[in-house]
Amino acid sequence: MEKKTPILDEIGRKHGMKVPENYFADFAGKMADSLPEREIQLPEQPTLWLRVKPWIYMAAMFAGIWLMMKMFTGIFSVEKGETPDVEMTASAGEERLIEDEWIAHYVDDYTAYEMLYTDGDY
């Protein structure tokens, strides 16, 4: 019951394709001859801006990081209850205390209402 169809024996091992003689030996020379001639252009000398631009971008990046760190550390120090490094001029008159002036300048509305509520001065 063994049915054997020797397809390769029927077709043969030749596929009809063959490479011409010395094709790969002469390939590079034939390709170079078929390409059009053109001048080789040397790259232009970079301008001063092109040479300095990466350094300026890097300096701007570090300046931005420094400013963000100053902003975030300033915010977190105020939340901890520390006073900012800004000098405050003593402009309070006789009827107002410096603490009142500080509260009016540095305390937001929510904190002021919370202070009034805890003091019982509502």
Rounded CA gap, 18 and 14, in Å? Answer: 9
Q: Binning pLDDT at 50, 70 and 90, where does residue 92 land?
A: very low
At a CB cut-off of 8 Å and minimum separation 6, what does 77 contact? 84
Taking only the tens place, the pLDDT of each residue in 39-68 is 888 888 989 999 999 999 999 999 999 999
Taking only the tens place, the pLDDT of each residue in 104-121 is 777 777 777 787 777 665
Q: Specify the pLDDT at position 121.
A: 52
Pair 88, 101: CB distance under 8 Å: yes
Taking only the tens place, the pLDDT of each residue in 71-83 is 888 766 655 665 5
Residue 98, pLDDT > 50, answer yes
